[in-house]
Amino acid sequence: MSDRGWRTKRMRKALAAVVYTVLGRGLVASARLDDRVRREVRTWPDGTVVTLRIAPFGPQTSWRVSGGTLEHLGGGDARADLLVTFKSVDDAIPLLLGMQGVLAAFAEHRATVRGDLAVAMSLVRCLHIVEGYLFPDIVTRRILPHPAERRAGHLRAYGALVHRTAALEGATS
């Protein structure tokens, strides 16, 4: 691969890592704001670790279900019970930037799934809800199977996300 091609790929991976962080915290925030996400997460076996990864070396983001609530584990290594792996960064970027829906990405073989497919289907529904909060209607109309239905406004969702970020930073400082 040429230097330019390699630099572009690294930039895409850096972008994916940023979006993974937002998505990771966004799912946790959605679980606080939205009873539909909470209900989905409660159906996952306690202790389940869910990871989204880009092959072969990441980045990745993980969550763990604990006592029916969701905890974001960040981008470190985690022993995943449900592992969704995008075959390349070029397969992940369209989904992460709202250019392609989750179901379309699966249909086009852009990702593999290891683990319980029922939990994977539940995760997809959660991601649809999160995308409803993260993206404007002009995007969600194209990528979601149904019009986004929000239990809280965008601002409150972003506030929950930022608050969570602040809380995390507070905990680590």
Partner 1 sequence: MIPDYYEFCNSAKIVSGTKAIEHIGYELASLGASRPLVLTNKQLRDLKVATVVLDALKDTEAEVVAVYDDVPVDSSVVVVNDVARVYRETGADAIVAVGGGSVLDTAKGATIVLTHGAEDLMEYRGAESLMGRRAVAFIAIPTTAGTGSEVTSAAVIKDTERHVKMGFTSLSLLPDVAILDPRMTVGLPPRLTASTAMDALTHAVESFSCVQANPLSDCYARAAIDLIREYLPTVMADPKDRGARLALANAALLAGAAFSNAMVGIVHAMGHATGGVADVPHGDAMAILLPHGMTYNLDAAGDRYGELLMNLAGAEAYASTPRDERPAAAVEAVRSMMRTLHEQAGLPLTLGEAGVLPEHVSEIATAALNDGAMSMNPKQPTYEELTTILKDAL
| Residues contributing to the site for partner 1 (CB under 8 A) | 83, 85, 103-104, 106-110, 112-118, 120-122, 124-125, 145-146
Q: Output the six-digit token pair for 81.
A: 């019970």
The distance of closest approach from Cβ of residue 152 to partner 1 in the complex, given in angstroms and rounded to an integer, is 20
Nearer Cβ to partner 1 (54/124)? 124
By beta-carbon proximity to partner 1, the closer residue of 46 and 108 is 108
Instruction: Give the shortest CB-5-to-partner 1 separation in angstroms.
Output: 21
Minimum Å distance from CB 21 to partner 1? Answer: 25
Nearer Cβ to partner 1 (107/171): 107
- Which residue number, 33 or 119, has a Cβ lying nearer to partner 1? 119
DSSP notation for 89-148? HHHHHHHHTTSS-HHHHHHTT-EEEES-HHHHHHHHHHHHHHHHHHS-HHHHHHH-SS--
Residue 105, number of CB atoms within 10 A of its CB: 20
**Cβ closest to partner 1, residue 144 vs residue 160:** 144
Peptide bond into 45 cis (omega under 30): no
Q: Give the residue among 22, 23, 16, 19 at the shortest CA–CA distance from 55.
A: 16
Please report how close the Cβ of residue 161 comes to partner 1 at its closest, in angstroms.
26
Pair of tokens at residue 49: 């670790």
Task: Write down the least CB distance from residue 115 to partner 1, Å.
Answer: 6
Count Cα atoms within 13 angstroms, Cβ side, for 170.
6
